[in-house]
């Protein structure tokens, strides 16, 4: 039976193209090839180094919810064969395992003295060199803020820059975005 090509009706991005995901144009979907080849690299470029740590909450296709955070729980869901990795340099998603992913979102954890977002740019890069950029604001936060969400739809990743003014503890932000099956030691420390 041949595959049916369903048009998602969303903008795509070409190999090697650079696109800024704005408030007015926040969504892009990756092609099936972009969604399953290599990886998706996500890095924050801020005015000074280490001003924004990135974590990634995710749900697998078998409905397991978890989160990767640098230093605390840096890879998952299976540390022996991780799909998601979080380091002080950013987040990496192994797209060869896209069939095991249902959704994910990238969380910014400001490391500034007053917990405000540092400004700068969040950069998402595909294996084929496509580059999506999200301008980071300088708003005050309560410690965590959602930056980008991703959903797997018919084998393709749909990315959305959130530009959401809501911030809260890591637990609150995860809950607002529907990640409510994780348990927590405190508002910033999930149990694994």
pLDDT number for residue 54: 97
The average pLDDT across 2-12 equals: 70
pTM: 0.93
SS3 4: coil
pLDDT number for residue 192: 75
The average pLDDT across 133-149 equals: 95
pLDDT band at 47, cuts 50/70/90? Answer: very high
Residue 172 clears pLDDT 80, i.e. is over it: yes
Q: In CATH, what class is 18-177?
A: mainly beta
Note whether 76 and 66 are within 8 A (CB): yes
pLDDT number for residue 39: 94
Residue 94 tokens read as 């192994």
Q: Rounded to whole angstroms, how far apart are CA atoms 131 and 93?
A: 15
The average pLDDT across 1-26 equals: 82
Note whether 45 and 120 are within 8 A (CB): yes
Count of C-beta atoms within a 10 Å radius of residue 71: 9
Q: Between vectors from CA 119 to CA 128 and to CA 156, what angle results, nearest 5°?
A: 30
Taking only the tens place, the pLDDT of each residue in 86-115 is 999 999 999 999 999 999 999 999 998 899
Q: Rounded to whole angstroms, how far apart are CA atoms 2 and 50?
A: 48
Nearest to 183 by CA among 171, 191, 173: 191
Nearest to 182 by CA among 69, 79, 41: 69
Query: Could you give the percent of the chain with pLDDT greater than 90?
Result: 80
């Amino acid at each position: 039976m041949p595959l049916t090509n369903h048009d998602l009706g969303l903008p795509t991005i070409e190999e090697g193209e650079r696109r800024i995901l704005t408030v007015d144009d926040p969504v892009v979907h990756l092609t099936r090839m972009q969604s399953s080849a290599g990886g998706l690299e996500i890095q924050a470029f801020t005015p000074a180094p280490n001003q924004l740590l990135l974590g990634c909450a995710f749900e697998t296709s078998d409905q397991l919810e978890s989160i990767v955070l640098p230093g605390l729980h840096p890879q998952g869901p299976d540390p022996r064969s991780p799909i998601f990795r979080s380091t002080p340099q950013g987040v990496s998603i192994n797209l060869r395992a896209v069939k095991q992913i249902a959704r994910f979102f990238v969380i910014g954890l400001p490391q500034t003295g007053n917990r405000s977002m540092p400004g700068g740019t969040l950069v998402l890069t595909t294996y084929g060199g496509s580059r999506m950029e999200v301008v980071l604001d300088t708003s005050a936060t309560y410690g965590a803020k959602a930056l980008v969400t991703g959903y797997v739809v018919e084998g393709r990743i749909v990315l959305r820059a959130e530009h959401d003014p809501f911030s809260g503890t890591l637990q609150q932000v995860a809950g607002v975005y529907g990640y409510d099956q994780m348990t927590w030691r405190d508002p910033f420390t999930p149990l694994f």
